Amino acid sequence: MKLRKVGDAGITIMRNTDLSIIIVDDLQFSRIVVKTALKKAGYGGVRLADSATQAFAMLDEQPADVVLADWMMPEMDGLELTDRIRQRDEELGTYTAIILFTANEGIDLLVQAFEHGVDDYLRKPPNPHELAARVNAAARIAIMQNDLLETSRQLEETIRNLEAVAMIDPLTGAGNRRFLDLQLRSHLLQASSRNEGVCLAVLEIDQLKHIREHNGLDVANEILIGLQRRLRRSVRPMDAIIKLDGDRFAVLMHFTNMDSFKHNSVLRLREGINQRPFKTSDQDINLSVSIGVAYYRGDEEIVSAKEIIKLSTSKLDEAIELGDNSIVY
């Protein structure tokens, strides 16, 4: 998508003609109807695919901001297509908005669609005005997500530049223990002086020891690298990802209001990790994760970085004992 920044606020301006859209439907008539409606609404960059295979070939040629696909198709249905696009997005560090067309009724099917990562849906046949509005909204989601991913990439580049002062884990690109100690001390002091909050979540993949023994070191390392990427996509750009000793990771989150922390902040980490199998050079592997969480409120007596690390690690040990993707606060 062609974007331009205007003014000090950096406002993103989007024009319909700038959008790249792919319509996937095995019925030619349906494809033409949707393309005609979008063309009348001013959308110019519309491509037509009669199958998922053709759609992926188009994505390889040029990324799409929005993919509109029929739910029911013979080669690959809309949910399978969504899974494949989400996997592709994860590998490339991009985000593609997805809208499914469906004739199905019932809330259960729609819940299923959203769980697979669908952004929106439309009943068939779509109303032209509603279609244009939904495409515009989906495009805004894609722009926002890609802007966040770009911010994350820039932050990761900044972290990589810190390697010269030995604060980077060379395998995953996350910060190391020294980086955590420095950052945590700074965040705790700031939280104490301003009544803010600091959360430290320490996590470990439950099956990684078994994978290292049965699938090999290279596959285990691929999973650690993939875990760092999934964590980065699950947190805010300003949150820090740290690779600790062994196979453990930490996520450091700062809240300018000490009451802003919600358990959902940690649940998102687990959901981001478990959303789909990890793709490795050996096979796709489903994993579970244990998480221990410690939270410091700025109105409490200040604690040291060592103390909060010890507490979160202790909570992780409790979570590991419980098993089954447990989180202990």
- pTM greater than 0.85: no
CATH architecture entry for 4-151? 3-Layer(aba) Sandwich (3.40)
| Cα 325 to Cα 207: distance, rounded to the nearest angstrom | 11
Point out which residues pair with 254 in neighbouring strands: 198
Least confident of 8-17, 102-111, 213-222, 297-306: 8-17
Strands 45-49 vs 20-24: parallel, antiparallel or unpaired: parallel
More confident residue, 102 or 314: 314
Q: Quick check: helix, strand or coil at residue 268?
A: helix
Query: Tokens 């994993």 label which residue?
Result: 287
**287-302: pLDDT as tens digits:** 999 999 999 999 999 9
More confident residue, 16 or 270: 270
Output phi, psi for 217, to 5 deg. -65, -40
Torsion of Cα atoms, 185 then 190 then 195 then 196, to 10°:
-80
Confidence (pLDDT) at 3: 40
**Confidence band for 155, pLDDT divided at 50, 70 and 90:** confident
**Confidence band for 7, pLDDT divided at 50, 70 and 90:** very low
* All structural domains of the chain with their residue ranges: 4-151, 166-328
Q: Quick check: helix, strand or coil at residue 13?
A: strand
Task: Answer left, alpha or beta for residue 42, where phi above 0 means left and psi between -120 and 50 means alpha.
Answer: left
Asked whether the beta carbons of 252 and 175 are under 8 A apart, the reply is: no
Provide the H-helix boundaries in the chain. 28-40, 52-61, 78-92, 107-115, 128-161, 177-194, 208-214, 217-234, 264-274, 305-322
Asked whether the beta carbons of 70 and 100 are under 8 A apart, the reply is: yes
Confidence (pLDDT) at 162: 62
Q: Return the axis-axis angle of helices 78-92 and 52-61, rounded to nearest 10°.
A: 20
**197-237: pLDDT as tens digits:** 999 999 999 889 899 999 999 999 999 999 999 999 899 88
**Confidence band for 1, pLDDT divided at 50, 70 and 90:** very low
For the domain made up of 166-328, the CATH class stated in words is alpha beta
pLDDT at 69 over 90: yes
**Confidence band for 16, pLDDT divided at 50, 70 and 90:** low
Residues in the chain: 329
**Confidence band for 124, pLDDT divided at 50, 70 and 90:** confident
Residue of 97, 100, 88, 99 lying closest to 143 (CA atoms) = 97
Give the DSSP per-residue string, 158-201: HHHHGGGGT-B-TTT--B-HHHHHHHHHHHHHHHHHHT-EEEEE
Peptide bond between residue 125 and the one before it cis (omega within 30 degrees of 0): yes
| Cα 52 to Cα 83: distance, rounded to the nearest angstrom | 12
Task: Answer left, alpha or beta for residue 291, where phi above 0 means left and psi between -120 and 50 means alpha.
Answer: beta
Q: Can you read off the two tokens belonging to residue 150? A: 């770009």
Asked whether the beta carbons of 241 and 233 are under 8 A apart, the reply is: no
| Cα 274 to Cα 194: distance, rounded to the nearest angstrom | 35
Least confident of 75-84, 154-163, 165-174, 180-189: 154-163
